[in-house]
Amino acid sequence: MDVGGARGWRMEKVVSAAQTRAVLEEQFGALEPADAPSSAPARRWKLPNGYVFGTI
């Protein structure tokens, strides 16, 4: 994950986790928080169809 080094990372090109969730909720319905190990770097979400994904 580039954090602003030599690859030309620009904040205005970043899609936030909140924006990602909003788009997914528009397409698939309300998201629910899903359980994750306390050491997991991602926050996990569950779609109404049962699919689980994570955002960092």
pLDDT tens digits for the chain (56 residues)? 556 566 777 788 888 888 988 999 999 999 999 988 888 888 899 999 999 988 88
**Cβ-based neighbour number of residue 45 at 10 Å:** 20
**Which pLDDT score, from 0 to 100, does residue 3 have?**
62
Q: Which residues contact 56 (CB under 8 A, 6 or more apart)?
A: 1, 17, 41, 42, 43
**pTM beyond 0.75:** no
CA distance 23 to 19: 6
Q: Do 34 and 45 contact (CB within 8 A), yes or no?
A: yes
Q: For residue 28, what pLDDT is reported?
A: 94
45 close to 55: Cβ distance less than 8 angstroms: yes
